[in-house]
């Protein structure tokens, strides 16, 4: 394709040394006015762009960060990602994205990219660290939306326990007594937290925690369907369910309808995340709104700050959430 011009071409054209060209571009005020003009003109004439690979090599920093996401097709993660990308661009960083949905251990190849200095750090939107992360090599990593159960790594997320608890309390306040829970993969700290919040609400209300009303799904519509099927098989049927994300809520409602039960008339459901399909579903889904974009933005800000200062910001920030009551929940009818 088109031949690129290098700093040497510019220098030659402007009649100065390459050092002067470099200076003019990075610290214009240290070169003489007249020289600057000449260089700028040459830059324009040649269409010169500093080769960013060369700059990075010289400076020993890639100025890019990897974002590892469990499934970019999940509207929750894609919004977190957008926040991360925006923050990166604002700081002149580019983002390399790794989608873990086809094979979770793709993460390992992205860790290799930071080993190979192609990226400076990782923003982790999945709970499980890549398998090769701990053979004695450390680098900046911050969690976004997920977090480190050992608390060793910086993270930005939400208070999952509290959010799940309030979602469940909403159902309890509506008069429901037999409330099921369909969780995401319990390997994830966030999912364990949501489950804990659900159980806590039950306990505080003096309600029993029934194992047969607790199903481990995996955040997909399908697992929402399977989950509702399972909890409905309990001898003493539930009248409501708290699902750990909106997609599972959709699956649950859908399957309920297939079985002839209408939401919310016959059964109440509350979801989690408030993805944009939640409000548009029929019925519109009561759910927990989480500041996805902001989570991504702050996580990226955090890692870039760390990269710049070389100081480890061992911080854990939790952003606020909000229960959004819509149509999928209603008072338990006295029957």
Partner DNA sequence: CTGTTAGCGCTTTCAT
Partner DNA sequence: ATGAAAGCGCTAACAG
Q: Which does 17 bind (CB under 5 to 8 A by kind): a copy of itself, DNA, none?
A: DNA
Q: Residue 56 or residue 316: which is nearer to DNA going by CB?
A: 56
Q: Which does 314 bind (CB under 5 to 8 A by kind): DNA, a copy of itself, none?
A: none
> Contact at 8 Å (CB) between 207 and 177?
yes
CA distance 312 to 182: 37
Among 254, 289, 305, 313, contact with a copy of itself (rule: CB under 8 A): 254
CA distance 281 to 246: 10
Q: Choose one: 21-29, 148-156, 168-176, 250-258; the region binding a copy of itself (CB under 8 A).
A: 250-258
- Say whether the peptide bond before residue 250 is cis (omega within 30 degrees of 0): no
Cα dist. 207→23, 81, 234, 277, 286 in Å? 71, 38, 16, 32, 22
DSSP state of 4: P
Q: Which does 16 bind (CB under 5 to 8 A by kind): DNA, a copy of itself, none?
A: DNA
Instruction: List residues binding DNA (CB under 7 A).
Output: 4, 6-8, 15-20, 22-23, 25-26, 30-32, 34-36, 48-51, 54-55, 57-60
Among 250, 288, 290, 303, contact with a copy of itself (rule: CB under 8 A): 250
Report, in Å, the least distance between residue 148 CB and a copy of itself. Answer: 17
Report if residue 89 touches a copy of itself, rule: CB under 8 A. yes
Strands (E), 81-220: 94-99, 121-125, 141-144, 155-158, 179-183, 214-216
CA distance 222 to 272: 16
Report, in Å, the least distance between residue 129 CB and a copy of itself. Answer: 16
Q: Choose one: 75-83, 153-161, 191-199, 265-273; the region binding a copy of itself (CB under 8 A).
A: 75-83
Interhelix angle 18-26/7-14, nearest 10 degrees? 100
Report if residue 286 touches a copy of itself, rule: CB under 8 A. no
Report if residue 140 touches a copy of itself, rule: CB under 8 A. yes
């Amino acid at each position: 394709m088109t031949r690129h011009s290098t700093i040497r071409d510019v220098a030659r054209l402007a009649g100065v040394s390459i050092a002067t060209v470099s200076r003019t571009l990075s610290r214009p005020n240290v070169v003489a006015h007249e020289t600057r003009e000449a260089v700028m003109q040459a830059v324009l004439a040649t269409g010169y762009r500093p080769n960013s690979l060369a700059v990075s090599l010289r400076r020993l920093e890639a100025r890019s960060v990897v974002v590892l996401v469990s499934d970019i097709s999940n509207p929750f993660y894609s919004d977190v990602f957008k926040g991360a990308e925006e923050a990166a661009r604002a700081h002149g960083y580019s983002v390399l994205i790794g989608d873990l949905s086809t094979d979770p251990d793709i993460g390992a190849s992205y860790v290799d990219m930071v080993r190979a200095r192609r990226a400076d750090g990782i923003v982790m939107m999945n709970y499980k660290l890549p398998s090769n992360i701990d053979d004695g090599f450390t680098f900046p990593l911050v969690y976004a939306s997920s977090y480190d159960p050992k608390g060793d790594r910086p993270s930005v997320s939400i208070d999952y326990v509290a959010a799940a608890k309030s979602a469940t309390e909403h159902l309890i306040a509506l008069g429901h007594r037999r409330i099921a829970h369909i969780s995401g993969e319990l390997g994830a700290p966030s999912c364990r937290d949501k489950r804990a919040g659900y159980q806590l609400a039950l306990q505080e209300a003096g309600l029993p925690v029934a194992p047969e009303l607790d199903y481990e799904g995996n955040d997909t519509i399908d697992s929402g369907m399977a989950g509702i099927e399972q909890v409905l098989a309990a001898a003493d049927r539930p009248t409501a369910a708290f699902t750990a994300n909106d997609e599972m809520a959709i699956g649950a409602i859908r399957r309920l309808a297939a079985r002839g039960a209408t939401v919310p008339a016959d059964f109440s459901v509350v979801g989690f995340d408030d993805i944009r399909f939640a409000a548009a579903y029929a019925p519109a889904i009561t759910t927990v709104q989480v500041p996805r974009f902001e989570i991504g933005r702050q996580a990226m800000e955090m890692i870039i700050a760390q990269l710049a200062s070389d100081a480890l910001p061992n911080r854990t920030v939790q952003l606020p959430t909000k229960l959004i009551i819509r149509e999928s929940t209603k008072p338990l009818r006295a029957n």
